[in-house]
Structure 1
Amino acid sequence: MLLVLWLALTPSPPRVSGVFGWDKLQHAAAFAVVTLLAGWSFAPLGTRPLPGWFRGWLFAVFWGALIEVLQGTLTRTRTADWRDFLADLLGAGAVYLAAVYWHRRQAGRRDFFTTTLRR
């Protein structure tokens, strides 16, 4: 989380050449990782994992919004951009949707095996 914050607020963050040099792809990838880490952290807190993944997504969304506000207010070399925030949302949303799909698929498998074993 601190690495993402540092990259977002430094005057001249390191540039990666090639396809990952594209700013919006970097935003989406960074917030996919933030959502993945936050989702893994929040999911075990409840009896059901999906609300934890939603909290992870929500954390990433608020983190992205906070970074854009900080870029617009604390730095003179960076500017807030709603397109960056949109890329953050897309990266975070992709991980959240993948987690929902995976957990629902796993729940279907458990139901299949438990009903098969009862017969």
Structure 2
Amino acid sequence: MLHPLNNRIGFALPFVSVAYVNREAIERLGTSIEGVRRHEGKHLEQVDYLGRLQYHRLEKWRREGMAEYVRGAPTISVYFPNPDEDANRLSYREFYVVTRYLIAQEGLPFTTPKKRPLSSGLI
């Protein structure tokens, strides 16, 4: 679903199970809609898997790190600098790096069964 008024490349509204992507921003940045769709879709999957309350209790690095991991690259690689959002974009890169490391090097599972504590996997 496209949302032309949003100036970000995408965002999810998990409480209504809808994700938006901004085709103009994606084309301007030269990235694919598929990566953005995977990132935002992961947020919807996280809410569906964990439930709304557990999703909001999940640390931001886990939510965004896993979405970036599913996307296949950190978001900062496709964004133009914006003084108001640089720190946020840099943190997404950090979340991606940590998540990728934990999965590849530490053997942490990609997802965690709903009944287990959130600390046992990434989701």
Structure with the largest fraction of strand: 2
TM-score (norm 1): 0.30
| Structure of larger gyration radius | 1
TM-score (norm 2): 0.29
- Structure with the greater relative contact order (CA < 8 A, sep ≥ 6): 1 or 2? 1
